Amino acid sequence: MSSPKTTTTCLPASTHKAELPENALVLPPTRQLQSLLTIIRDEKTHRGDFVFTSDRIIRLLVEEGLNHLPVVDKKVTTPTGKVYDGVAFQGRICGVSIMRAGEAMEAGLRDCCRSVRIGKDEETYQPKLFYAKLPEDIANRYVLLLDPMLATGGSCIKAIEVLLEHGVEEEKILFLNLIASPEGIQKVCKRFPKLRIITAWVDEGLDSNSYIVPGLGDFGDR
């Protein structure tokens, strides 16, 4: 069945902030990732560059997230006639974006997964479900939940509750996120200990308006 070991380049989120839970992971803080974040945080960055650069980070996140899916051993024959011991992907996936900022991440997901089903989940400042359009067979799939910013964690928790109501298993949910606040991570991980969060960066904290600082402003608007 599924290969026992998961090789990942992710690091535990506690490399950023010491006291964070184990099921929160961050991308390795390479110079390049830092320069990408610098571009999207800069208020002078134009929309085109912002979209392009965040797509790059999202691709890195998705590639990382996919590493947590199971694989099975598979032998194939190469064009040179040799046998190669490889692996095949197993388990079907479904991307769910939390509207509206999460929709911006769909392009990056499609770059990495060919036939991914994408459902939608609406949220507002006060986490209240407006709209949910999810594939019928979502209960059998792994779910990549997309939301670029994890601030208070309210909307994220609401979205996960909706997924669980639709029969998705908690350990089959991967939450992909660009910038997270330590508070948000704490809250989500505490509530759903079997879920995994993969984030590109953990920021300082939240300001009085529940914005992440230093953050990057409103992702959906930009």
Partner 1 sequence: MSGHNADHLHPSSRPKLQTRKSSRSKNMVMASHGRAPWYGPDGKNVEAYVIGIAGGSASGKTSVARAILSALNYVPTVLILSQDSFYRALQPEEVKQAFNNDYDFDHPNSIDTPLFVKCLMDLKQGKATEIPVYSFEHHRRMPEKKYIYGASVIIVEGIMALQSPELRSLYDLKVFVNCDSDLMLARRIKRDVKERGRDVEGILDQYLRFVKNSYDNFVQPSSRYADVIVPGSSNQLAIELLVTHVKRQLDTRSLRFRRMLAESGEEKAKARSRSSTLVNGETEDKPNVVLLEQTNQLLGIMTILRDRTTEREEFIFHADRLSTIVVEKALTLVHCQPKTVKTPLGLDYEGLASDDTLVGISILRSGGPFSHGLRRVIRDVPIGALLIQSDPKTGEPLLLKSDLPGSIKCRETSSDVKVLLLDSQMGTGAAAMMAIRVLLDHGIKATNIIFLTYLITESAIHSVHRAFPEVQIVTAAIDPELSEMRIPYDPSSLQLGESLGEADFATKTISHPNMNQSANDVGEKPDPRDGLKTEQELSSNQFKIEVKDTDQLKFSRQHRRDHSGGEKRAWVISPGMGHIGDRYYIS
Q: Which residues bind partner 1 (CB under 8 A)?
A: 3, 6-9, 30-35, 37-39, 41-44, 52, 56, 59-60, 63, 66-67, 69-71, 74, 76-80, 82-84, 86-89, 111-112, 114, 207, 211, 213-218, 222
Residue 84 CA to residue 77 CA, distance in Å, equals 6
Residue 112 has φ and ψ, to the nearest 5°, of: -105, -25
Q: Among residues 37 and 143, whose Cβ is nearest to partner 1?
A: 37
Cβ at position 95, least distance to partner 1 in Å: 15
Cβ at position 101, least distance to partner 1 in Å: 14
> Measuring CA to CA, which residue among 194, 176, 202 is closest to residue 57?
176
Cβ at position 138, least distance to partner 1 in Å: 22
Q: Among residues 111 and 183, whose Cβ is nearest to partner 1?
A: 111
Q: Among residues 100 and 222, whose Cβ is nearest to partner 1?
A: 222
Q: Which helix (H) or strand (E) holds 161?
A: helix 154-165
Cβ at position 137, least distance to partner 1 in Å: 22
Cβ at position 156, least distance to partner 1 in Å: 21
Three-state DSSP string of 23-66? CEEECCCCHHHHHHHHHHHCCCCCHHHHHHHHHHHHHHHHHHHH
Q: Among residues 113 and 129, whose Cβ is nearest to partner 1?
A: 113
**C-beta separation of 12 from 24 below 8 A:** yes
**C-beta separation of 57 from 41 below 8 A:** no
Q: Among residues 192 and 201, whose Cβ is nearest to partner 1?
A: 201
Q: Among residues 86 and 193, whose Cβ is nearest to partner 1?
A: 86
Burial annotation 53-70 (CB, 10 A radius, 16+ → b, else e): bbebbbbbbbebbbebbe
CA distances from 63 to 8, 45, 57, 60 (A): 10, 25, 10, 5
Cβ at position 195, least distance to partner 1 in Å: 19
